[in-house]
Amino acid sequence: MSALLSDSCLLIGFPDYREAAQRLARAAGIPYAEALVHHFPDGETRLQLPESLPEYVVLCQTLDHPNSRLVELVLAAATARDLGARHITLVAPYLCYMRQDKAFHPGEAISQRIIGVLLSQWIDALITVDAHLHRVHRLKDAVPVNPAINLNATAVMSAFLGKQLDNPFLVGPDEESEQWVAAIARDRDFDYCIARKQRFGDQQVRISLPKADYRKRHIVLVDDVASTGRTLESATRALARFGPASIAVLVTHALFAGDAQERLHRAGVSHIWSTDAIPHASNTLHLDHLLADALDRCRDPRTVQDDT
């Protein structure tokens, strides 16, 4: 069954992702309601939904701070079913636990598979953006629901950069970033190159830049996610030696753990731009229309393709 076949649909947001969820509801033309979430002093959560729900429900929550939000999500989805929802679409612009797609050491949990199966037990359809897929290429193989749509933010990013900078030079910090960097560059005919990354631990990264003329260029470092920020920080320090006109950072997912943002500025980054997939001070690009379009396509099973 496809989502949103009926007009009887409600988008339910959560207090910590309110603004983006409300924007999505407006863009999609779906009424908005909010889960009431109370955190007890011991860390447990009380969650309450509107007492009667339509057949089709869209839950909109992004999944940074994953351990607590996954519990809230399961509480919300199970309660939505109890209250009458027959079809639940999860819009999670940032999808957690996608990196650990194999056991790198004996005995390690393959978190992607475990969390993917957990989600599939509670939701019918999934829409996310720039999911961090590596060895498992299709989102539906990580989260077995239909449809499982993995959008990318590159069109939004290239439109933004086209207005922001004259003739930027895009740099991807590692091989994985090439898919996004190349797509943005292709859209606007921007120059780009891809660096090589070696990671020695959570906080230790070495970036080797390819030979290029970076001098006096407006460099934009593009990546799907900034977590510790070490990848972008190392790339910035390497680039700064060549005397570029400016170095900016553009990411889909602004996790920026700890003092990552300050370290980036100290290394020489002038601007940090991100999408609203994760609420952060650097959010400058909104994904509401991209997500609304995907929700709209869910109305018609003929137009839905997994991993769009």
Q: Of residues 113, 230, 286, 297, which one binds ligand R5P by CB under 6 A?
A: 230
Spell 132-162 as b/e; 16+ CB within 10 A means b.
Answer: bbeebeebbbbbebebbbbbbbbebbbebbe
Q: Is the CB of 272 or the CB of 295 nearer to ligand R5P?
A: 272
Rounded to a whole number of angstroms, the minimum distance from the CB of residue 228 to ligand R5P is 3
**CA gap 209, 306 in Å, rounded:** 35
Rounded to a whole number of angstroms, the minimum distance from the CB of residue 199 to ligand R5P is 7
Q: Is the CB of 8 or the CB of 179 nearer to ligand R5P?
A: 179
Q: Give the other-Cβ count within 10 Å of 289's Cβ.
A: 13
Q: Is the CB of 101 or the CB of 276 nearer to ligand R5P?
A: 101
Q: Is 297 in the site for ligand R5P (CB under 6 A)?
A: no
Q: Is 228 in the site for ligand R5P (CB under 6 A)?
A: yes
Structure tokens at 213: 């003329």
Q: Is 293 in the site for ligand R5P (CB under 6 A)?
A: no
Q: Is 101 in the site for ligand R5P (CB under 6 A)?
A: no
Q: Is the CB of 214 or the CB of 256 nearer to ligand R5P?
A: 256
Structure tokens at 31: 């009424």
Q: Is 224 in the site for ligand R5P (CB under 6 A)?
A: yes
* Near ligand R5P in 180-209, by CB under 6 A: 205
Residues 43, 16, 263, 93: what is their CA dihedral angle, to the nearest 10 degrees? 110
Amino acid at 260: A
Q: Is the CB of 126 or the CB of 226 nearer to ligand R5P?
A: 226
Structure tokens at 173: 């910090």
Q: Is 11 in the site for ligand R5P (CB under 6 A)?
A: no
Tell me the site size for ligand R5P, rule CB under 6 A.
Answer: 14
Query: Which of 19-27, 62-70, 89-97, 171-179 is the region at the interface with ligand R5P (rule: CB under 6 A)?
Result: 171-179
Rounded to a whole number of angstroms, the minimum distance from the CB of residue 193 to ligand R5P is 16
Q: Is 174 in the site for ligand R5P (CB under 6 A)?
A: yes
* Backbone Cα Rg of the chain: 20
Interface residues with ligand R5P (CB under 6 A) are: 173-174, 176-177, 205, 223-231
